[in-house]
Homo-oligomer: A and B are copies of this chain.
Amino acid sequence: MTVTLADVAARAQVSPATVSRVLNGNYPVAATTRDRVLRAVDELDYVLNGPASALAAATSDLVGILVNDIADPFFGIMAAAIQSEIGGPGGRAGGERLGVVCNTGGSPERELTYLTLLQRQRAAAVVLTGGAVENTTHAAAVATKLRKLADAGTRVVLCGRPPAPADAEAVALTFDNRGGGRELTEHLIGLGHRRMGYIAGPEERTTTRHRLEGHRAALAAHGIADDPAWTVHGRYDRRAGYEATLELLRREPSLTAVVAANDTVALGACAALRDSGLRIPDDVSVVGFDDLPFSVDAVPALTTVRLPLSEAGARAGRIAMGREEAPDGGIVTVQGELMVRGSTGVPKG
C-alpha cells in the first residue's frame, strides 16, 4: 500500500541503508548513486515515515512552542518568529522541523501535560514563552519535567519567561518587565501624576509581579504613597481592563492616570474611561505595555513600552535549533523601549 524505504531501494537498485543515507545526507554517497535514489524517490512519490525514523534515530524533528494564549497577538507574534526560525518550511537551511504551537491557556496542568506530550514525542527542542505561574509546587513540577527533557536531549529555551530558580541551566531570554514598568510610571510621574490606578494581570504570574514591582519602585523612588486599593488584578484581556477601570474609578474618582498591565488591558481601560465620560489624556492618562501593532492605532495612540517580540522570538528559535550560541550564563535580559504617544499628558487637576 504505502511506499517504504525498501521500495525505493529496490527501484534504485541499492540497499535501504543507502537510501536512508541519501535522504539524511550525512554520509558519503556517490553522486550517481544519489541521483538514482532521488529519482526513485520522486517516481514513487515516497514520503519518509516520521515515527519510524524518530524511533530508529531516537530523536524527532518536532519543536514545541508553548504559549499562554495563541489568540493573543503577544504570543502570536513570538510564535510566528520562533517558527520562522526553526527551519520549518521556508526557514533557512537544515533539517525541516515541525514547529508545534501548544496553547496552554495559562493553565499549569496543561503546560505540564503538553510537556509530557512533547517528551513522549521525543521533541528536538521546546520553547516556553511568556510569564510563568508562580506556584511553588507547580514550578517544581515544571522544572523537573524540563530537566528530564534536557536529559533526554531536548533543547529547552525560555522566551520572555524568567527562569525559575530550579530551572537552573536553561537558556533564557527574559524581558525587562520591571524596568519597563518603572519607566512607564516614571514617565507619568514626570508629567505630574500622583494619583495613579494600576490594573495588574492575574496574580501568581511572574510577568504580572515584575511589572507591578516596577510601578511600585517608581512610586517609592518619588516618595509617592502606594495605596493598595489602587491596584486591581484581572486577566490579560480587554474585558478585564474595562471592568478593572470601572472598579478603580469607583474606588477613587480623582485618579489622573491608569497604568495597565498590557496594551490589551489598556484598550479596555480606554473604553471604560470613555464610557464614563472621561477624556484621554485630558482627564485621565493611560499607559499600556508591549506595544502590540494595534496600540499605535488606538485613539489617542497608546503610550507604552515596546518589547521586541519578534526579535526575541527569532533569537529563541535560533538557539533552540542550535544555530546560535546560547548567551553566556544562559540568561539575557531584553530591554523594552518607552514609546510616548498621545494617551498620556499633563494632569489637569
- Chain A contacts with B in 326-341, Cβ cutoff 8 A: none
- Chain A contacts with B in 52-95, Cβ cutoff 8 A: 52, 54-55, 60, 62, 69-73, 75-77, 79-80, 83-84, 88-90
Q: Is the CB of B238 within 8 A of A297?
A: yes
Known: A90-B109, A116-B47. A152 touches B121 (CB 8 A): no
Q: Is the CB of B98 within 8 A of A100?
A: yes
Alpha-carbon gap, A76 to B101, bound state (A): 11
Known: A50-B120, A89-B110. A2 touches B152 (CB 8 A): yes
- Interface residue A146 (Cβ < 8 Å from any Cβ of B): no
Interface string of A253-277 (1 = CB under 8 A from B): 0000000000010011011001000
Interface string of A31-50 (1 = CB under 8 A from B): 00000000000000001111
Residues of B within 8 A of A296 (CB): 271
Who on chain B is nearest to A300 by CB?
B299
Q: Tally chain A residues at the interface, Cβ within 8 Å.
A: 63
Residues of B within 8 A of A98 (CB): 100, 102, 114, 117-118, 121
Q: Is the CB of B122 within 8 A of A49?
A: yes
Q: Is the CB of A120 within 8 A of B49?
A: yes
- Interface residue A103 (Cβ < 8 Å from any Cβ of B): yes
- Interface residue A150 (Cβ < 8 Å from any Cβ of B): no
Q: Is the CB of A90 within 8 A of B73?
A: no
Q: Is the CB of A90 within 8 A of B76?
A: no
Known: A122-B50, A271-B297, A297-B271. A117 touches B100 (CB 8 A): no
Q: What are 17 A-to-B residue pairs whose CB atoms are below 8 Å?
A: A47-B120, A49-B120, A50-B60, A62-B121, A70-B80, A71-B73, A71-B76, A71-B80, A72-B76, A84-B105, A89-B109, A90-B105, A90-B109, A98-B118, A99-B101, A294-B294, A298-B299
Extra 6 A-B pairs, beta carbons < 8 Å, given A2-B152, A89-B113, A90-B107: A50-B120, A50-B121, A72-B76, A88-B110, A98-B114, A264-B294
